[in-house]
A and B are shown apart, each in its own frame.
Chain A
Amino acid sequence: AQSVTQPDIHITVSEGASLELRCNYSYGATPYLFWYVQSPGQGLQLLLKYFSGDTLVQGIKGFEAEFKRSQSSFNLRKPSVHWSDAAEYFCAVAPGGGALTFGSGTRLQVQP
């Protein structure tokens, strides 16, 4: 069965600093990979997804993620964090159209 690990439960960065959120997955083949964000009181919003092709994918709100097969990773990055990026971020994997399996989430705090 597939699994997703987000090793950082909580991260604090200063506004304007760069950000990288880690995600490692376990799956026999190349899965579909996703990053979602949840702001307080809101549902989960899709930031970006990887299915195949270019391993660097661009998403909304200035986020990008890079798929590295050799490391089974799909880390999320942003060059300059804004205060509005404070939220909880979830990495997820879907094995070829099946239901999503989520990581436990990383809560991002942004300091002024």
Chain B
Amino acid sequence: EAGVTQFPSHSVIEKGQTVTLRCDPISGHDNLYWYRRVMGKEIKFLLHFVKESKQDESGMPNNRFLAERTGGTYSTLKVQPAELEDSGVYFCASSQDPPGRSPLHFGNGTRLTVT
């Protein structure tokens, strides 16, 4: 079984530019999560999809971040325009059920650097 795949692995952009991160979950996993780790701090929840619907987006920092999951398969996270404080590692994770019932599988992350 293929794991959670994230693309790109690294991205370096200038402040004000736009970046789109992509996550391909494990096939059949309805639950998809985005997390972010900024500068060695804790890993923070951004949002949770169940299929194509946003179940919980309480962690999204502001309206410069837009997440989509069209068709309930892969997901994208767009940052527009990027700011310096958006630098960090963005993780995607998926599971068949909510994390209380089945394990969360993480991708290797996308390291975003905004200069």
Contacts and interface: CB of A to CB of B under 8 A. Distances in A.
Q: Is the interface of B mostly helix, strand, loop or mixed?
A: loop
Nearest to A44: B106
A100 B45 contact: yes
Contacts of A44: 43, 91, 93, 106
Contact of A94 (B99, B108, B109): B99
Interface in A79-106: 90, 94, 96-105
11 contacts: A43-B3, A43-B109, A94-B100, A96-B100, A97-B98, A97-B100, A102-B42, A102-B44, A103-B42, A104-B41, A105-B42
A49 B42 contact: no
Interface in A41-77: 41-46, 49, 51
Interface residues of B, number: 26
A99 B33 contact: yes
A30 B25 CA distance: 29
Identify which of A34, A44, A90 gathers the most chain B CB atoms within 10 Å of its CB.
Answer: A44
A98 B98 contact: yes
Nearest to B55: A99
Contact of B99 (A42, A97, A104, A105): A97
B85 interface: no
A41 B108 CA distance: 7
A90 B103 contact: no
